[in-house]
Amino acid sequence: QVQLVESGGGLVQAGDSLRLSCAVSGRASSAYVMGWFRQAPGKERDFVGHIGWSGGSPYYADSVKGRFTISRNNAESQVYLQMNSLKPDDTAVYFCAAKATPFSSSYDYWGQGTRVTVSS
């Protein structure tokens, strides 16, 4: 069992930066791949990016590539999403998620989300 808790959301202006955190507890070794997703009101949940266990080969959706950076600190059981040059279109509830193994076809655990609002 893995528990994920996001934090760091808030209200910012376009062009600002914000860092989201995801605290991993429980069986942290089962958080093999960490992903970030976001969901705007009335819309589908969208993929933002993911990062592997060792922190290598992060991958991002085109909509955030070059602006967002995922990192993780396994010693502190934290995963981060650094968001720069924020746009109003980035407004959403942001979720972290974990794949238990590298063989998982989908994400096994999800956090409750943290809201990010970007004003124009």
Identify the CA nearest to 116 among candidates 81, 96, 92: 92
pLDDT of residue 78: 94
Mean pLDDT by 10 residues, the chain (120 residues): 95 98 87 93 95 86 97 92 98 96 89 97
CB within 8 A of 98, min separation 6: which ones?
2, 4, 24, 30, 31, 32, 33, 34, 35, 107, 108, 109, 110
**Cross-strand bridge partners of residue 37:** 47, 95
